[in-house]
Amino acid sequence: MHHNTYILLINRDKRVLETTHSTLCKAGYLVLKATDTDDALCLLNAIRIGLIICDNALRDSTGREFLTILKKDPLLLSIPFIFFVPVNDRERASEAFAIGASDFIVHPLDDKILIERIREIMPLGPGMHHDTTIQAGEDTALPETSGKVILERDDRRESERKCPLASVHIEISRDGVLWMPGQLQNINRQGIFAETSLLGKPGSVLHIKILLSDEIRILKGSIKHITFSNPQHPTGIGIEIEETQDWRDAHEMLAALMRTEDPEAMDIKDLQTDLGTHDSINTIILPYHKQKMPDPSPLLNDVGMMSEETLDVRFYHSLVGKQLGNYKAVSFIGAGTMGGVFKGWDVALERTVALKVISYKLSSHETFRNMFIKEARTISQLNHPNIAHIYYIGNMNEIIFFAMEFIHGKTLADLIKEYHNLDISRGLQYFITVCLTLDFVSKKNIIHRDVKPENIMITDKGMLKVVDFGVAKITDGRTREINSDGIVGSPLYISPDCIKGHSVDCRSDIYSLGATFYHAFSGSPPFEGKDTEDVLRKHLHENPVPLQQINPHISHGLSMIIRKMMDKEPENRYQNYQSIIDDLEPLMAGNTKFH
């Protein structure tokens, strides 16, 4: 628990509030006060609260109602909640347990006993001073209800108190594939007690992952007992863990965590703190099919999915399962800088297509929208075996999309990922084929403007296809086209002329093609940076590390061809594709002999 975590005291009776506040402050705690639920919720939203002590009588509501609200809130439900119960009203305590209270304290209560009880639940952190010597207990026993399913929670004061272990992240699984998050409540040498949404029954075998700072322990155990009240609350399960060295080590660390006055000093990763939120049982996205049991990948590696997705991705997600004109969006394949791609189905012609939906950023410019539609129609007439055909361009509810040939295969980007860099002979073949294809394109006065490894595909039958002419531009073939659309292209491969907003022609594509094959032969793009601006700056002002230095198998000739293609000045680059092909072909012949 964080050392500057507060206790929140809520009581309608200001006299009791002041007395308790003073007692806890003297004991070294940081304490906040509230007399009603409104004030309490404001404090909960603004300040890290580690423990709530609440009376049933509040100014605007009851403590029970307040607890019910908290338990429905994924951000707040994990905060331990102690009920203040008058000595003549103990009945209310068991009711409170049923809705998720961690403990109750009967008042009036001797100060010393109060502090002892609080210390058990919330030991003092290093930033708090100590004026008592009471230490947190260790190895509180698991409830002895072996083999029983408890539907109503009884008084759990001695057995199931919340403790610093709540900050240790665990996951629980039945099958070793689907992992449910859990909150560790207690430990002893035989096993653990945790809250989770995973339901089971006594005897069921479970896998338990415990996330430590630098490793994951995967343990095996079986359910000893279950507490379950209703589906709105997590299930409490006592798990007996198999006696192994792994468990002994994990237990030692967890027990130390309970003993220590500075839980953070123990090497336990507090994921909740890292995430800046109290992730609760219901809010975790579960990585199914992505996380195999033997793979010690970081727990919750999909937490990224929980962060705010970009508006673009959210827009593409809104189209999953929709029908745009004659085209059904069957499944989402991925998002690029220019748009999102779906596997689609052409209802009229009954064939699979790739559906590309244009990013809202591009389609929000009217000039771009008009130009895009006009030019896509022209490009759809390109007839070349190495070009994925555009079948249709449409606009539905202001959403611009086009349907193109669906290619079963891999992108050049996939191959780079798979092999790190390309076999030189095979790479040269691809290189020449793309040059021939873009030569055909440029002779039709078209600039692709988004040449990159993701837009070069190799089909299952080994055929190369240049795809995605979604941002292509038609020139008049005489004057160089002014780049009036702003920066169009992918930052890792974009030409300096395009970044500067200068006129562009096929030499801009030649630069991007050079950058693409630099990546293919070296395994990394020519420029990387901390952000897009940094990468663009390098395209403008820095020279890439010579290819031969990164991959010594590359010939000097090939390294020089790519260097020339990537010259900052269009005038110093190859002026057309044929001259690149002329230089590449002798290398190809040499490589064929070599291999």
User: To the nearest whole angstrom, how small is the minimum distance from the Cβ of residue 54 to other proteins?
Assistant: 15
User: To the nearest whole angstrom, how small is the minimum distance from the Cβ of residue 310 to other proteins?
Assistant: 9
Looking at the Cβ atoms of 81 and 527, the one nearer to other proteins is 81
399 binds other proteins (CB under 8 A): yes
User: To the nearest whole angstrom, how small is the minimum distance from the Cβ of residue 185 to other proteins?
Assistant: 17
Stretch that binds other proteins, among 101-109, 326-334, 426-434, 504-512 (CB under 8 A): 326-334
Looking at the Cβ atoms of 174 and 568, the one nearer to other proteins is 174
Which two structure tokens, joined as six digits, stand for 386?
A: 């190495």
Find the Cα–Cα–Cα–Cα dihedral 18, 23, 27, 31, rounded to 10°. Answer: -20
Contacting residue, 277, 380, 575, 579, with other proteins by CB under 8 A: 277
Q: Which residue has the tokens 């000595």?
A: 87
Angle between helices 63-72 and 37-46 (to 10 degrees): 30
Q: Dihedral sign, CA of 31, 32, 34, 37?
A: negative
Q: Which of 287, 342, 335, 283 is nearest to 313 (CA)?
A: 335
332 binds other proteins (CB under 8 A): yes
151 binds other proteins (CB under 8 A): yes
Which residues in 402-421 contact other proteins (CB under 8 A)?
Answer: 408
Burial of 564 (0-12, 13-18, 19+ CB in 10 A): middle
User: To the nearest whole angstrom, how small is the minimum distance from the Cβ of residue 490 to other proteins?
Assistant: 20
Q: Which residue has the tokens 């189209």?
A: 319
Looking at the Cβ atoms of 256 and 487, the one nearer to other proteins is 487
User: To the nearest whole angstrom, how small is the minimum distance from the Cβ of residue 476 to other proteins?
Assistant: 31
Per-position x/- string for 156-185, each x denoting binding to other proteins as judged by CB under 8 A, each - no binding: -----------------xxx-xx-x-----
* Three-point CA angle 540, 543, 547, nearest 5°: 135
Per-position x/- string for 34-73, each x denoting binding to other proteins as judged by CB under 8 A, each - no binding: -------x---x-----------------------x--xx
Which residues in 191-210 contact other proteins (CB under 8 A)?
Answer: 197-202
Looking at the Cβ atoms of 233 and 563, the one nearer to other proteins is 233
Give the Cβ contact number of residue 194 at 10 Å.
28
Which residues in 526-545 contact other proteins (CB under 8 A)?
Answer: none
Looking at the Cβ atoms of 228 and 502, the one nearer to other proteins is 228
- Exposed e or buried b per residue across 523-549, where buried means at least 16 C-beta atoms within 10 angstroms of its C-beta: ebbbbeeeeeeebbebbeeeebeebbe
User: To the nearest whole angstrom, how small is the minimum distance from the Cβ of residue 14 to other proteins?
Assistant: 25
230 binds other proteins (CB under 8 A): yes
Alpha-carbon distance values, 229 to 185, 197, 204, 233, 267 (Å) = 17, 12, 19, 7, 34
146 binds other proteins (CB under 8 A): no
Which residues in 377-396 contact other proteins (CB under 8 A)?
Answer: 396
Which two structure tokens, joined as six digits, stand for 127?
A: 């930033």
DSSP conformation letters of 347-374: TTTTEEEEEEEEPHHHHTSHHHHHHHHH
143 binds other proteins (CB under 8 A): no
Which residues in 231-260 contact other proteins (CB under 8 A)?
Answer: 231-235
CA atoms within 13 A on the CB side of 314: 7
Count the residues of the shown chain that bind other proteins, applying the rule CB under 8 A: 72
Which residues in 285-324 contact other proteins (CB under 8 A)?
Answer: 285-290, 302, 306-308, 311-312, 314-315, 317-324
Report the distance separating Cα 184 and Cα 181, nearest Å.
Answer: 10
Q: Is the Cβ–Cβ distance between 491 and 535 less than 8 Å?
A: yes
Looking at the Cβ atoms of 132 and 283, the one nearer to other proteins is 283
Report the distance separating Cα 171 and Cα 302, nearest Å.
Answer: 13
